[in-house]
Amino acid sequence: MKSLILLTAARLISPLLLMFSVFLLLRGHNEPGGGFAGGLVAAAAFILLAISRDPATARSALRIEPQTLMGAGLLMAVGAGVVGLFVGRPLLTGIWVGLELPTGTLDVGTPLLFDIGVYLVVLGSTLTMVLTLAEEE
C-alpha cells in the first residue's frame, strides 16, 4: 500500500524539482550547475513519481520515451559542438547570437545548446535505467 504522505509530497515536490532543474540548467555556464546537475534533479522528480505511484505513471508524466530524450540530447550536444567547424572555428567553440527582444538584447550561444543536450541525455539515461529496473519488480 502506498503512503498518503508520500503521494501528497510527490505531487507537491515534483513540479518544484522540475523548476529547480531548469534553474540549474540555465545558471550552469556561469555558476555551479548546468546540464548534468539539472538533468539529475529532473530525473529525481520523475523517480519520485515512480516510487510514490508506479513506473507507468512516471512514464505517462514524462510523455516522451527516455530513449528518445537521450537521442535528441546527443544530437543537440554534438550539433552544438560542430557548429564551430561550419564557421571556420575549432570543434566546441562557443558561437553567440544576439536576439533582439523588446526588453533588450539576449545573447544565446552554442554552450547553452550543449548544456540542454547534456540535460536531455542525463535525464533520458537515468530514467531508462531506473524505470526499467522498477518495472521488473
The backbone region for 33, taken as left when phi is positive above 0, alpha when psi lies in -120 to 50, beta otherwise, is left
Q: Give the range of the structural domain holding residue 27, as residue numbers without chain letter.
A: 4-135
For the segment 46-78, what is each residue's pLDDT rounded down to a tens digit? 999 999 999 999 999 999 999 999 999 999 999
Give me the number of domains the chain comprises. Answer: 1
C-alpha cell of residue 75: 544530437
Going by C-alpha positions, the residue among 43, 27, 53, 45 that lies closest to residue 111 is 27
Distance between the two ends of the chain, CA-based, in angstroms?
Answer: 15
State how far the Cα of 34 lies from the Cα of 2, in Å rounded to an integer: 34
State how far the Cα of 19 lies from the Cα of 80, in Å rounded to an integer: 24
| C-alpha distances out from residue 68 to 49, 91, 121, 131, Å | 20, 25, 9, 14
Average pLDDT score, the chain: 91
The SS3 call for residue 109 is strand
The mean pLDDT of 101-119, rounded to a whole number, is 88
pLDDT band at 132 (very low <50, low <70, confident <90, very high): very high
Exposed / middle / buried, residue 95 (Cβ in 10 Å: 0-12, 13-18, 19+)? middle
The mean pLDDT of 127-132, rounded to a whole number, is 96
pLDDT of 134: 93
The mean pLDDT of 104-111, rounded to a whole number, is 84
Q: Is the pTM of this model over 0.85?
A: yes
